[in-house]
Amino acid sequence: MRSIALMLTCTALVGCSGPDVTEVKITDNADMVLEKVFTVSLSEPAPLAIRCVRDDLDSEVHLVESTDEATEHVLHVQGLVADTSYTCDVAPIADRATPSQGAFETDSLPDEIPSATAVSNGEPGAAYTFVPHQLLATGETTIRLVLMDNEGEVRWYYPLPIEGYADMGAEYWGDGLFLWGGVSGSSAGEGVPHLVDVSHNQYYRADYENASDAYFHHMTEKQYDGTVVTLVEADAVSDGRWYYGFEVHQVDVDQDELVWSWGLQEGLDNGGPEVGDANWAGIMVDEAGQETMVISVCEGQGVVGVDMTTREVAWSLAGGWGSLELTEGDFPRIQHGLDIDGDRILLYDNGAVPTTRAVEYEIDAASGTATQTWSWTEDGFQEDWGWGDVDYLGDSRVVITKGHLPDWGGDGPSEVIEVDKSDGTVVWRLSFTDELDAIYSADRIEGCALFSETSRCSALADRLDELSSWF
């Protein structure tokens, strides 16, 4: 525990009125060195603001605020940089209030936290990148979630409380919460959807009926309606043939309830295509509000659309067994990550020849056709059977996660690449340092959504200007 030395207080020798900062204590988050907890006492009830400036980069300013009229405040300064000193002002927001000033220094990161470098060729479409990380080639089964800024500096991390493999779902949920789940190779029930806050407190752990008996894998993802879609293992049999099958679970987090599910066995029983393992799923909604569960089946080298009302396979996109005619382009092969935007789907196509690619298709189920509308690749991009992901970012941007696995071929390192879909240019690239760094997916997060750092959020910078007279 550390205390800030008070620079000015109201005493018999100093004539002032209004709230006075009587004590400031700074404590570390025991689980993470990138957060400081300020406990502040005032002589009179008042709102409070804290401004912390990074000593070696004065453009980085953290602003946290409490609007409570209180004499005791607890505020968290988060998203800091390791091995870095900060100078802070603690200011009651009231007439003739007396501020206080002090400083702290953050500790070093744990050895297992990865490092990365970044290159920008334009204005990135987001401020932070969130990934599940693992040194998979070493046989490691521990996993950590890591969040970096656009310069590659680590701003947050969370060691998962379970073991398994990092081909899983991990994304920013909003409201200071991170969603994770679908951890392949984890024990029964352990890979259920979870929500954890920035301070590492568990906010939610799915416990819907039979969830504790299921083996989750590959993905857990928030949908447009606030529900979560995740995958579980479920064997299937048809005509004496055994399949390593799957079920798709849609979960209402607020009610902790399984609201919809569909599995390969049901598909086979109703004449659906004979496909195997699934690695991604998400809900497509048409203009009439009709929902289709879109499922990427990696080993089947295709994508299936299931009508969520009739529960029948409405369409399938694949070479050899798909129902849709591909009017232009090439079918996907051994694809992983999937994202949806209206009637378009985006895939990370591991098995594309001659190089791995990101590819987009427009689905016209009514006419029974699909059209390849966009693709992107680059020299040396080859990750056969590896990990990887691709997501829409908005404003014609696409985020591509090159999930490099050294033991499975391809050129490293793992990278997260932001591409302008309109012209194929790389706007921003994050490259991990170690050849063994394995990441499965990436979520890009805008600057005002997380932490309270003014250079990444113009609204927060404006608020700092409003408060400047108090500091």
Q: What is the pLDDT of residue 1?
A: 42
DSSP string, 20-68: BEEEEEEEEETTEEEEEEEEEEEEEEEEEEEEEEETT-TT-EEEEEEEE
Q: Is 13 exposed, middle or buried (0-12, 13-18, 19+ CB in 10 A)?
A: exposed
Q: What is the pLDDT of residue 298?
A: 87
pLDDT higher than threshold 90 for residue 3: no
Beta bridge partners of 305: 294, 315
pLDDT higher than threshold 60 for residue 363: yes
Mean pLDDT (whole number) for 357-381? 95
201-252 confidence digits (pLDDT tens): 999 999 999 999 999 999 999 999 999 999 999 999 999 999 989 999 999 9
Angle 364-367-370 from CA coordinates, rounded to 5°: 40
User: Could you tell me which residues come within 8 angstroms of residue 130 by beta carbon, excluding any fewer than 6 positions away?
Assistant: 145, 146, 147, 170, 171, 172, 178, 442, 443, 444, 445
Model confidence at 8, in pLDDT bands (50, 70, 90)?
very low
Percent of the chain with pLDDT over 90: 82
Domains belonging to the chain, first-starting first, are: 2-108 (2.60.40.10), 116-445 (2.120.10.30)
Q: What is the pLDDT of residue 6?
A: 42
pLDDT higher than threshold 50 for residue 52: yes
pLDDT higher than threshold 70 for residue 7: no
Structural tokens at position 289? 């509000």
pLDDT higher than threshold 80 for residue 14: no
Q: What is the pLDDT of residue 412?
A: 77
Structural tokens at position 25? 């204590």
CA nearest neighbour of 154 among 84, 80, 87: 80
Write down the pTM of the prediction.
0.94
Integer Cα distance of 470 and 93 in angstroms: 6
Residue 211 falls in which region: left (phi positive, over 0), alpha (psi -120 to 50) or beta = alpha
Peptide bond into 132 cis (omega under 30): no
Determine contact, residues 150/118, Cβ cutoff 8 Å. Answer: yes
Integer Cα distance of 286 and 327 in angstroms: 21
